[in-house]
Amino acid sequence: MTDMDDRIGYIGLHIESGLFKAAFTDAGGEILEIDEREASMESISEILGTVIDIIAELKQKASHHGRAVSGVGIGVPGMVNWKTQRVEFAPDLPVIEGLQLSEEVRDRLAVPVVMENAVRLAAYGEYRCGIGRSAPNLVYVHLGTSVGAGLIIEGAIYRGALGFAGQLGHMTVDPDGLECRCGNVGCLETIASGPNLVRRTRERLFRDRSSSLSSLALPGRGELTPERIAMEALDGDDFSLMMLEQTGRWVGVAIANLLNLLNLDMVILSGGVMVAGDVFLKPVVAEAENRARWLPKEGCRIVNSPLGGQAALIGGAMLARDLQRNGNVR
Ligand SMILES: [Zn+2]
């Protein structure tokens, strides 16, 4: 850290469905201020207005710390064309397709902005400031509404030819499986995304009423969520345990494919189902090790994301910092 670093900081911002989260960090990624707000997302102009409000307020707060905001990194649930900085495809939040924040925010607030896929930023956050600091080859997997992955290869974000790398959810794990919303069949997402875990659980609950979740299988009896299934498994419900073990095995199959292809130092898992911690990790690790046999077991750690929901915020701030340090200010 230089003396200069004491007078600056960075903003990481994460746009999720209906929710904006942001953090102001110092140059080392330590969070100094945090902002979280629910806001309407009917149109791109509405989203832009909220983003500008949040950044303007955090700039104010930064000045109370005697710091200026030197850059902003914004994570979105979609595929961002890295060169044009435009959201090309966002099935989980279609309203942001076509969103291009960088120029507009820079013009209004005089601060450089970079936009990137949020899971990729989470990978970068864990790599720069979290559990992945000594793991230059890592994959960060998010099991949410979609299943996505952020890849760090040899210490840099891997984006691929057009910037769309990381579609782990659309890796085929069952050639005879169910149809996926992408048009393929047997994608990992048809089994392991949050909505598909809930769907599979609900379907089986109609046949097996012994579970503590049974009442939730019926419409209008409370919400069945990945977090709820994970909690019941932690409480020892056999049925929930079985659902997590099955799901974990499929995730393990996909991870084994990654390990065999990329010889990773670390795989970091996140998402609602990770509330179950080791109960979910165990079958993932067992299956991955079993299918990546020739790799030394001690060569790769498969872990829960310790930074969790803050990973993308810290990653956004650190990506903005590193682009600036490397002279790639947009
Ligand atoms: Zn698919």
- As given in the structure block, the two tokens for residue 35 are 């902002």
Q: How far is the CA of 23 from the centre of ligand 1 (A)?
A: 33
Three-state DSSP state, 84? coil
Q: What is the rounded average pLDDT of the residues 1-25?
A: 91
The neighbour count for residue 233, using CB atoms within 10 Å, is 25
Q: How far is the CA of 195 from the centre of ligand 1 (A)?
A: 14
The predicted-structure confidence for 194-223, as pLDDT tens digits, reads as follows 999 999 999 888 777 777 777 766 666 678
H, E, C per residue of 152-172:
EECCEECCCCCCCCCCHHHCE
Q: How far is the CA of 110 from the centre of ligand 1 (A)?
A: 40
Q: How far is the CA of 157 from the centre of ligand 1 (A)?
A: 23
Q: How far is the CA of 150 from the centre of ligand 1 (A)?
A: 17
Q: How far is the CA of 293 from the centre of ligand 1 (A)?
A: 27
Helices (runs of H) and strands (runs of E) counted in the chain: 9, 12
Which pLDDT score, from 0 to 100, does residue 85 have? 93
Q: How far is the CA of 212 from the centre of ligand 1 (A)?
A: 31
Q: How far is the CA of 33 from the centre of ligand 1 (A)?
A: 38
Do the Cβ atoms of 176 and 188 come closer than 8 Å?
no
265 burial (CB, 10 Å; 0-12 / 13-18 / 19+) is: middle
Do the Cβ atoms of 149 and 119 come closer than 8 Å?
yes
The pTM for the full model equals 0.94
- As given in the structure block, the two tokens for residue 222 are 């409370």
Task: List the Cα angle 147/309/271 in 5-degree steps.
Answer: 30
Asked if pLDDT for residue 116 goes beyond 90, the answer is yes
C-alpha–C-alpha distance, residues 301 and 35, integer Å: 32
Which pLDDT score, from 0 to 100, does residue 2 have? 65
Q: How far is the CA of 98 from the centre of ligand 1 (A)?
A: 22
Indicate the pairing of strand 113-117 with strand 68-76. Answer: parallel
Domains, the chain: 3-117+316-325 (3.30.420.40), 131-306 (3.30.420.40)
Which pLDDT score, from 0 to 100, does residue 223 have? 85
Q: How far is the CA of 201 from the centre of ligand 1 (A)?
A: 20
Where do we find the tokens 């056999």?
238
Q: How far is the CA of 183 from the centre of ligand 1 (A)?
A: 6
Three-state DSSP state, 149? strand
Which pLDDT score, from 0 to 100, does residue 210 have? 72
Residue type, 179: E
The rounded mean pLDDT for the chain is 93
C-alpha–C-alpha distance, residues 224 and 211, integer Å: 13
Q: How far is the CA of 65 from the centre of ligand 1 (A)?
A: 46
Q: How far is the CA of 142 from the centre of ligand 1 (A)?
A: 15
Q: How far is the CA of 315 from the centre of ligand 1 (A)?
A: 27
60-69, 98-107, 171-180: lowest mean pLDDT where? 98-107
Q: How far is the CA of 325 from the centre of ligand 1 (A)?
A: 37
Q: Who's near 136: CB < 8 A, 6+ residues apart?
A: 127, 152, 153, 154, 155, 265
Q: How far is the CA of 166 from the centre of ligand 1 (A)?
A: 12
C-alpha–C-alpha distance, residues 7 and 63, integer Å: 9
The predicted-structure confidence for 267-302, as pLDDT tens digits, reads as follows 999 999 999 999 999 999 999 999 998 888 788 999
The predicted-structure confidence for 234-255, as pLDDT tens digits, reads as follows 999 999 999 999 999 999 999 9
